[in-house]
Structure 1
């Protein structure tokens, strides 16, 4: 059995209880070593076999799983954050299905959630933004034409930009071309929930310069939108004049 486990955003104690227990009971762990906090491996038993997938191809990962599964071992495939976001699990699942290997998924705390917590913000502020776009800049991995950054920027809503720390000059240009103003607030969220976490509040105009001046070129999530600013409106949820099923 293979358990795809979301490791959380970084901190050892931000994995779910279910995920922690799966690590404790695992016979084999294959973890995304370039991003997953190695402290999470401390939950594993000393006898557990551990593989770092940063050095492995898809075929090598599947080979390890096939061997372990044939020996009735419990396998954890440990991904950063939540595996549903840029986790590359679909290609693994298709392979597992072709070999009749059982699997399930344990969700994790994505970095876009940890980033909002660290920045002390809410993505869906009434009257400001009611939608969140999770996306990335086009780099070596292409994006569909309708999902180019400038197209998405036209919505002027809340945005969490993954995997784009090395492309902030291009990101800045695309956001402005798409319709955001130069003074739109941004947050550079570097290694959120890790000991060396940094949250840098800036604007689109200063985004690239602030990345360079802070020597950040990877492992940062970039938040964009007016939800980070000073404007806000109270919700109707607790408005005394707003009737609900529970409050007349």
Structure 2
């Protein structure tokens, strides 16, 4: 069968135990070579057939899967982060359904989690933001009109922007059409959890300039919101005056 596996954000030891076990057992691995850390391929057996999907079309991927399935070989489709985000897995699953080839899905640690860890940040701070918007700029792949950056920025919530580091001038302008200001904290997180990880903090009004000064134009997430500022409210969960089913409130 086919196992869709989330490779995690980059560091080889951030793949899940299940994902690592599936890689070790696989007869065929098709990996997203433009984003997945190739060090993970070290988990594969020496006789495993490895394909880089960055050089393949969907039809070519399916042909490899079809041929391997006909030979009763176990296949891992290795995607970056968690494949549910910008992983283009729905079209693969629908094609496998049509071919009668069984599959399952093993989640992974998304790069937006790795970016928060790299920035030592919490996206959902009491009194600041309880909502995380994960989105991308429209480029060669469009986004629905109702999901434009400016419309989403109107909420002023925590925002994590994927696949947009090459369009920072346009992204900055669109974000400033919403509830954010030029002084809203922002960060560029390049290759979160990789050895070359870099976190660049700036004001939103200087986002594009920060990208140019640090030569960041791809493989980076943009974080925006007051969760990056120092002010927030203490959590009720651990407040002595807050009663729970496990603890009595104390003055």
SS of the residue aligned with 1:247? coil
Displacement after TM superposition at 1:203 (Å): 1.2
Distance 1:209 1:128 in 2: 26
Is 2:158 aligned against 1:158?
yes
Question: Counterparts of 1:56-205 in structure 2 under 5 Å?
Answer: 56-205=56-205
1:168, 1:227 → 2: CA distance? 20
1:134-165 Cα offsets, whole Å, 9 max, x none, are 00001111111110000000000001000001
Give the Cα separation in 2 of the matches to 1:202 and 1:84: 29
How far 1:179 sits from its partner (Å)?
Answer: 2.4
In the aligned structure 1, how far is the partner of 2:162 from the partner of 2:231? Answer: 25
Give, in angstroms, the shift of residue 178 of structure 1. 1.6
Distance 1:37 1:127 in 2: 37
1:206 aligns with 2:201: no
Residues 100-140 of structure 1 show CA distances to partners (whole Å, capped at 9, x for unaligned) of: 00000000000000110110010000000000000000111
Listed as ranges, the gaps of 5+ residues in structure 2 are none
Aligned length: 248
Alignment correspondent of 2:27: 27
- Mapping 1:4-43, distance limit 5 Å: 4-43=4-43
Question: Which runs of 5 or more structure 1 residues have no equivalent in the other structure?
Answer: none
Runs of 4+ aligned residues of structure 1 deviating over 6 Å after TM superposition are: none
